[in-house]
Amino acid sequence: MRNPEANPLTDVVPAMLTPGEAVIPAPAAQHPVFKPIINKMVQAGRQMNEELGLSGQGKSKKSIWDLHGYSDGTPFVAGDRDSFKEFMLPLVEKQAKERGINPNVIVNQLGLETGWGKSIIGNNNFGNIKDFSNRPDSVQAFDKTEKSNDKYRSYGSPQEFLDDYWKTISKWDVNGAQTNEDFARRLTTGDRKYATDPDYVKKMSRFDNEAAPLAANGQAGNRGVLPTDATGRHLL
């Protein structure tokens, strides 16, 4: 199938007819090994574009980020731990330090809650906080741990989420927590628990036990709690 606007000697597939489609040189496009693979990629791309409403045939225009709850094109790769941390750490650092909490612990907890941003329920709900007040913009989903259908809050921006997040966790004595295990235990202590997963502390503790590259002082660091110098700056 040729693109009428393409070079007749080189281009044999549609050029940007819909987002995701591109020009592929004829030798590669017509190669018997690559041709079936390219055809599958094109069809899969068209199907996704239609589902997202990006092809002009869908009912509404959506951003790919909307599928993961991001209303403003959040610049990180969903499910990628390092990418998620790079994005989230600057957002939580100031408030965390004011409370005496290691900011990396907060990022790890939000990463655990959402699979490093891959399984966010509700717009910008980076902690998958449930909604018990029947907000009009809440999202309903199945809680595998509690085996129940629950509503989850939505937020207009990551900062709006964090404002609510700090208010939410302030109901527990988390100030001063420096390790992932300590933070998780505080959230799961008492009759009212932030998380009901019986393995929550165990899962958070794994971040404390992970090996990390050597710090600048030659001592082994920790990815869960990054080593710092006397001024509090991270050494990694």
- The domain that contains 213 carries what CATH number? 1.10.530.10
Residue with the two structure tokens 């403003």? 72
In a domain, 75, yes or no: no
pLDDT tens, residue by residue, 49-105: 554 454 444 444 433 344 444 444 556 888 999 999 999 999 999 999 999 999 999
In a domain, 68, yes or no: no
Same domain, 141 and 184: yes
Domain count, the chain: 2
In a domain, 104, yes or no: yes
**CB-based contact 129:152 (threshold 8 Å):** yes
Same domain, 58 and 117: no
pLDDT for the residue numbered 95: 96
pTM, two decimals, is 0.59
Same domain, 101 and 205: yes
Same domain, 117 and 177: yes
Length of the chain: 236
pLDDT (average), residues 220-227: 38
Q: In angstroms, rounded to a whole number, what is the distance separating the alpha carbons of residues 235 and 232?
A: 9
Range of the domain at 99: 81-222
Same domain, 137 and 50: no
